[in-house]
Amino acid sequence: MEDIKMKELKALLNHLIGHNENHADEIKQLAQRAKDLEIEESYELMIKGTKELQNSNVSLKKAYDLLPKEA
């Protein structure tokens, strides 16, 4: 049972990391639209959000790496 729980945890965490990366890419595209429309403050905030997602992924990847390799 613990093995199944560990596999599930690893799978969900790995999925979340990829999910964040995809969202960061989407937000960058939206930010470019705001920049094209000359809405600079909105652009800057969206770019800040993508950086925060990337920083979050650094922590999530470290957490993932600390999980047992066997499961």
> Residue 42: inside a domain, yes or no?
yes
Q: What is the pLDDT of residue 1?
A: 65
> Residue 2: inside a domain, yes or no?
no
> Residue 28: inside a domain, yes or no?
yes
Domain count, the chain: 1
> Residue 45: inside a domain, yes or no?
yes
Q: What is the pLDDT of residue 71?
A: 53
* pTM for this prediction: 0.81
pLDDT over 90 at 69, yes or no: no
**Residues 6+ away with beta carbon under 8 Å from 59:** none
Residues 8-24 as b or e (16 or more Cβ within 10 Å = b): eeeeeeeeebeebeeeb
Single-letter amino acid code for the residue at 6:
M
The residue segments making up the domain with residue 50 are 16-54
Q: What is the pLDDT of residue 2?
A: 79
> Residue 69: inside a domain, yes or no?
no
Query: Tens digits of per-residue pLDDT, 11-68?
Result: 999 999 999 999 999 999 999 999 999 999 999 999 999 999 999 999 999 999 999 9
> Residue 48: inside a domain, yes or no?
yes
Q: In this structure, are residues 43 and 35 in contact, taking their beta carbons and an 8 Å threshold?
A: yes
Nearest to 54 by CA among 6, 22, 30, 11: 22
